[in-house]
Amino acid sequence: GENVEQHPSTLSVQEGDSAVIKCTYSDSASNYFPWYKQELGKGPQLIIDIRSNVGEKKDQRIAVTLNKTAKHFSLHITETQPEDSAVYFCAPPNGNQAGTALIFGKGTTLSVSS
């Protein structure tokens, strides 16, 4: 099955700085790469995703880039704000399982200080 690794596990930045989180995966057949944000006391929520036929996707201050050759994709947050503080998970689907079961990375705790 899919093996997912996420780095770093914690990330502290000053407000206005950029943050980058990287996710590596093992299944070369993977074709969909989502990022989820989990705020304290809440469930994860999809914030951005990318499909394998695209190298980069942007949505305001967040972007995701994909390198299929190296089997990794990254979340980029620019002009960070205190409300960006949360745990971020990459969660590519498990291609070996029926349905769309997600394989979550272990998460990155982002702290943005003002």
CB 105 within 8 A of CB 23: yes
- Shortest Cβ 56–another protein spacing (Å): 17
Task: Read off the DSSP letter of residue 53.
Answer: T
**Site for another protein contains 26 (CB under 8 A):** no
Distance CA 43, CA 41 (A): 7
Per-residue contact string for residues 28-67; x = within reach of another protein by CB under 8 A = ---xx-x------xxxxxx--x-x----------------
**Site for another protein contains 98 (CB under 8 A):** yes
Beta bridge partners of 113: 14
Which of 48, 85, 92 has its CA nearest to residue 68?
Answer: 92
Residue ranges in contact with another protein by CB under 8 A: 31-32, 34, 41-46, 49, 51, 89, 91, 93, 95, 97-102, 104-107
